[in-house]
Amino acid sequence: MTLTDPTTSSDAGAVLDGPALWSAQAHMPTVLGRQLVIDRGEGAYVVTTEGQRLFDGTAGLWHANVGHAHPELAQAAYDQMRRLETYHVFARYANDKAIALGERLAAIAPMERAKVILNSGGSDSIDVAAKLARRHWQREGRAEKTIVLSRDLSYHGLHAFGTSIAGLPFNREGYGSDSLVPETARVAQHDLADVERTILELGPERIAAIVTEPVQGTGGVHPPAPGYLEGLQRLCREHDILLVLDEVITGFGRTGTMFAAQRYGVEPDLVTFAKGVTSGYAPLGGVLVSPRIWEPFYVDSVETPIFRHGVTYAGHATASAVALAHLDVLERDGLVARVGELEAVLRQQLDGLAARQAGVVDVRVAGLLGGVELAPELDAVRVTDALVDLGFISRPLRGNTLQLSPPFIIADEELVSFVAAIEHAIIQEGNR
């Protein structure tokens, strides 16, 4: 890291120079010179350019479910690129891998007869789902149904719609208005009575959709309160509001079922997905669409409208080939069922941690998703820094919470060691 002359005469201090890469979600002055540069991966571990081997306790950004450097996924990408890197799926064109992936995803979707919209990632998926929800009601002749609701502490990516419906205020601040896309609002995180009050105050005739993560991730790993998702579905049905499940984190096994909708017994109108569809080996996301929504766009009539969606890499052939190979690995190796086994280990370990350490305010578990909420006097950022020194990666989330979401391929003893390292780092922080 080097210092350059300040570009202004401000009292803010010198302008810091560093790599050309502007890191994501970063307060740059405090990360420059401290970045961990990852050089390679080995299963559940990554290795830095300095040679430090780290247990990947977050699976990257919740996505490396089958671990890093899986040879079958690398081979799938290589083979596909040698044949056809990609071809777009606009209008009458398609490619064989995108078609095959659509069929595969429709067969495992948490709704019958789903159609599949493919794109490049989770933020894309949220934008498409929110637009499709509003487009649905316009087509129905109910033009007043435009409001998109989301929950307090929710995270839905950082495209325009995802920024607008975020339940984390800091992701909406600084853009000149409370909502980049107008007509959005937040509802209570767990309180169904409060959700219903909000619906009635805004007017159900004005609400297009409610978007929710089944398990809130970035907001601090919050599983739904008992009955909440079922109650949300009931409210949506009673008030003719579309239910959109954001399964970008939870999809493809993270909660012990292929989709969290199946774990919690919910039948959504739309499901967004990304991350786990390829285990992060290629950027791919999409939306699962129920017949209620897609059928009017498939009627054989000159009056049938077009839904104007699509990005250049939608249905990317190589990404689709990797996704197909990844789904093969999930099924062949029984990794979704394995998550259920690991959940029991994680829950036992975190319950024990909470019982032993007064600095642990709460622990939360759903599948292989865990959150450890620390007391205010403990700093989650410093704890995660200490964990790196111990050879483990966690991440500080909103609410002074530590993230645990390792790959599905780990052994029980690795999960036990991860929690033991967290306890060591908490004790170290408490003794500061």
5: pLDDT strictly greater than 50: no
Question: What percent of the chain is predicted at pLDDT more than 70?
Answer: 97
What pLDDT was estimated at residue 7? 45
Residues 105, 288: contact at Cβ < 8 Å? yes
The total number of residues written for the chain in this structure = 432
C-alpha 81/C-alpha 97 separation (Å) is 12
As given in the structure block, the two tokens for residue 77 are 């990408």
What's the average model confidence in pLDDT over 21-43? Answer: 95
Count CA within 13 A, CB hemisphere, residue 77: 14
- Mean pLDDT, residues 229-239 taken together: 98
**The pair of three-digit structure tokens given for residue 8, joined into one six-digit string:** 């202004």
Distance CA 124, CA 158 (A): 9
Task: Supply the pLDDT for residue 98.
Answer: 98
User: How do residues 134-166 score in pLDDT, each as one tens digit?
Assistant: 999 999 999 999 999 999 999 999 999 999 999
Q: How far is CA 253 from CA 80, 241, 284, in A?
A: 25, 27, 17
Contact yes or no for 284/278 (Cβ under 8 A): yes
Q: Which tokens hold the place of 339?
A: 């998550």
Mean per-residue pLDDT for 42-62? Answer: 98
Phi and psi at residue 217, to the nearest 5° = -95, -75
Distances (CA, A) of 352 to 171, 196, 421: 34, 37, 13
Q: Which residues contact 151 (CB under 8 A, 6 or more apart)?
A: 167, 186, 187, 188, 189, 212, 213, 216
Q: pLDDT tier at 1 (50, 70, 90 boundaries)?
A: very low
36-66+334-430 homologous superfamily: Aspartate Aminotransferase, domain 1 (3.90.1150.10)
| 196, 237 contact by CB (below 8 A) | no
In this predicted structure, what is the pLDDT of residue 13?
A: 82
Query: What are the backbone dihedrals phi and psi of residue 388, each rounded to the nearest 5 degrees, phi first?
Result: -60, -45
> What pLDDT digit, counting tens, does each position of 300-345 carry?
999 999 999 999 999 999 999 999 999 999 999 999 999 999 999 9
**CB-based contact 281:121 (threshold 8 Å):** no
pLDDT at 22 over 50: yes
pLDDT digit string, tens, across residues 378-424: 999 999 999 999 999 999 999 999 999 999 999 999 999 999 999 99
Nearest to 101 by CA among 290, 323, 294: 323
Question: Could you tell me which CATH class the domain 72-332 is placed in?
Answer: alpha beta
Residue 11, pLDDT > 60, answer no
| C-beta separation of 272 from 244 below 8 A | yes
CA distance 288 to 95: 19
Q: Using pLDDT thresholds of 50, 70 and 90, give the confidence band for residue 80.
A: very high
* Boundaries of every domain in the chain: 36-66+334-430, 72-332
Write out the two tokens for 400: 């002074």
- With a cut of 50, say whether residue 33 has pLDDT above it: yes
133-142, 172-181, 229-238, 347-356: segment of lowest average pLDDT: 172-181
Q: How far apart are CA 67 and CA 41, in angstroms?
A: 8
How many CA within 13 A on the CB side of residue 415? Answer: 25
Model-level pTM? 0.95
The residue to which tokens 């596909």 are assigned: 80
The pLDDT of residue 12: 64
Whether the Cβ atoms of residue 63 and residue 247 lie closer than 8 Å to each other: no
The contacts of residue 301 (CB under 8 Å, 6+ apart) are none
